[in-house]
Amino acid sequence: MKSKIVPLAVALSLTSFAASAKEFVLIDNEKGIAKGDWSISSKDLGIKSEKFTIQNTVLKGGKQEGSELLTITSDNLTIKLSPTRGLGILSVMGDGIRMGWDSPVNEVVNPRYINLESRGGIGWLDGFNEMMVRCGFEWTGHAVQADGMMYTLHGRAENTPVSKLIVDVLDKAPYTITIKGLIKENTFKKSNLETWVSLSYVPGTKDFTIHDVLTNKSDYTRDYQIIYHSNFGTPILEEGAKFVAPVKEISPFNDYAINGLDDWRTYLGPTKNFDEMVFNVYPYADENGKTQVMVANKTGDKGAGIAFDTKQLPVLSLWKNTDTLKQGYVTGLEPGTSFAYPVTIEREQKRVRQLAPGQSTEFTLTYSLLSGKDAVAEYANKIKTIQGEQETKVVNQPMAKE
């Protein structure tokens, strides 16, 4: 399956910016730039109608030694990203609501301290604590030994420091802040994938947009996969919290998840020995291919929503890890090109996509922090509109066996 070529205007936007923007290069491996500790504010930029700061900090001590933390702070949201960890989103805070979770991994672990092949290929878990992790792009899913190599859990992107990091601020309303990073998955004979990843935020709002453009720089056709592993814990996740989505079909990932099919829409509180359940979801979309999903607390006044394009990301993995708080009480809403089966199974089931030489593809997702019953209800109503009178098919058996 081949993806469309990204329009030239989109591609050019990754390396140049509109004349009406202030741009700051914090990292550029080709030019030897690494700003390290750095900050800018709306006051510094002469912006009076909005108040915000953007700060990059080099962390010290332990396994986060040398990791960088980039924080956008406004009156509505505080967004934390790590350029050292593939520009993943660590957390988002607003109105006393957190989009994120409490992992036993409590440092921003520098990839230099992670061996992806440890514990049989699940070393990725040694750094896993983000709100949003890009699982890909060369491969994703559970670890498997095949093709003379180890396909480690969920790929390499999140454990790849960006080779370029650019902060872009429009100098006119709405003063959009865009953080862009370049992830290189380049291996002799194997891969030459480069991805410009970005987060855009309009100060004063409670939404932000991810826009990533993946390009095959090789002379050969290459596979790609991506799962946007988006994770939410307390205070959104609690006993009685709900997953709301326009679901066309849902099935258990494995035999263990069969036991949770009757209650796939709701969550338990922290439950010792629960471990994890995963469900494979095919979502409905509107006439333009757009869909959205949400997790909300029991009373419906706190939530997190994700809107995405099913032409780009046709499937969703629903991960329920309602184990104890110390073990990591969390749910994942994970739009993707693939489910989380090993790449060998995803190839067999024709969900692994390909890019021709020089070809690009793009992914756009909008995340919303939902504060108050009106915001949660409005988001849920849009989901209900997409679902309409269409039925949800519940399949009782896993589609594959690992």
What CATH number is given to the structural domain containing 290?
2.70.98.10
Does residue 1 form part of some domain?
A: no
Strand partners, 271: none
Does residue 40 form part of some domain?
A: yes
Q: Taking a C-beta distance cutoff of 8 angstroms, is the pair 175, 205 a contact?
A: no
pTM: 0.94
Is the pLDDT at 263 greater than 80, yes or no?
A: yes
Start-to-end C-alpha separation, the chain: 23
Q: Which has the closest alpha carbon to 99: 134, 131, 135?
A: 131
Does residue 3 form part of some domain?
A: no
Does residue 101 form part of some domain?
A: yes
Confidence class for position 98, pLDDT limits 50, 70, 90: very high
> Left if phi > 0, otherwise alpha if psi is -120 to 50, otherwise beta: which for 372?
left
Does residue 269 form part of some domain?
A: yes
Is the pLDDT at 2 greater than 60, yes or no?
A: no
Number of domains in the chain: 1
Instruction: Please compute the mean of the pLDDT values over residues 323-336 and round it to a whole number.
Output: 98
Query: pLDDT digit string (tens) for 330-354?
Result: 999 999 999 999 999 999 999 999 9
Does residue 15 form part of some domain?
A: yes
Predicted pLDDT of residue 6:
42
Does residue 294 form part of some domain?
A: yes
- DSSP type of residue 154: T
Q: How far is CA 124 from the centre of its chain?
A: 15
Identify which has the larger pLDDT, 145 or 3: 145
Predicted pLDDT of residue 331:
98
Query: pLDDT digit string (tens) for 205-226?
Result: 999 999 999 999 999 999 999 9
Is the pLDDT at 276 greater than 50, yes or no?
A: yes
Confidence class for position 246, pLDDT limits 50, 70, 90: very high
Q: Taking a C-beta distance cutoff of 8 angstroms, is the pair 232, 304 a contact?
A: yes
Residue 76: C-alpha distances to residues 37, 93, 175, 234, 243 (Å): 24, 8, 14, 19, 25
Is the pLDDT at 15 greater than 60, yes or no?
A: no
Does residue 401 form part of some domain?
A: no
Name residues whose C-beta falls within 8 Å of residue 156's C-beta, 6 or more positions apart in sequence.
116, 138, 185
Question: Which DSSP string do the residues of 15-71 spell out, in sequence order?
Answer: T---TTEEEEEEEETTTTEE--SEEEETTTTT--S--EEEEEEE--SGGGTT-EEEE
Confidence class for position 5, pLDDT limits 50, 70, 90: very low
Is the pLDDT at 17 greater than 50, yes or no?
A: no
Which sign does the torsion angle of CA 398, 132, 102, 62 carry? Answer: positive
Is the pLDDT at 13 greater than 80, yes or no?
A: no
Identify which has the larger pLDDT, 4 or 104: 104
| Tokens representing residue 303 in the block | 């939530």
- DSSP type of residue 7: P
Q: Taking a C-beta distance cutoff of 8 angstroms, is the pair 357, 218 a contact?
A: yes
In the predicted model, what is the mean pLDDT of the chain?
95
Grouping H, G, I as helix, E, B as strand and the rest as coil, residue 239 is coil
Confidence class for position 10, pLDDT limits 50, 70, 90: very low
Is the pLDDT at 7 greater than 60, yes or no?
A: no
| Tokens representing residue 324 in the block | 């104890």
Query: pLDDT digit string (tens) for 56-97?
Result: 999 999 999 999 999 999 999 999 999 999 999 999 999 999
Instruction: Please compute the mean of the pLDDT values over residues 319-338 and round it to a whole number.
Output: 98
Confidence class for position 21, pLDDT limits 50, 70, 90: confident
Is the pLDDT at 381 greater than 50, yes or no?
A: yes
Domain holding 265, by residue range, is 8-394
